[in-house]
Amino acid sequence: MSLTDILSPSDIAAALRDCQAPDSFSPKKFFQISGMSKKSSSQIKEIFRILDNDQSGFIEEDELKYFLQRFECGARVLTASETKTFLAAADHDGDGKIGAEEFQEMVQA
- Distance CA(47)–CA(15), nearest Å, equals 15
Q: Is 23 annotated as a binding residue?
A: no
CA atoms within 13 A on the CB side of 102: 18
Residues with Cβ within 8 Å of 80's Cβ and at least 6 positions away in sequence, in order, are none
Q: Is 18 annotated as a binding residue?
A: no
Q: Is 82 annotated as a binding residue?
A: no
Q: Is 48 annotated as a binding residue?
A: no
Q: Is 62 annotated as a binding residue?
A: no
Q: Which residues are annotated as a binding site for Ca(2+)?
A: 52, 54, 56, 58, 63, 91, 93, 95, 97, 102
Q: Which residues are annotated as a binding site?
A: 52, 54, 56, 58, 63, 91, 93, 95, 97, 102
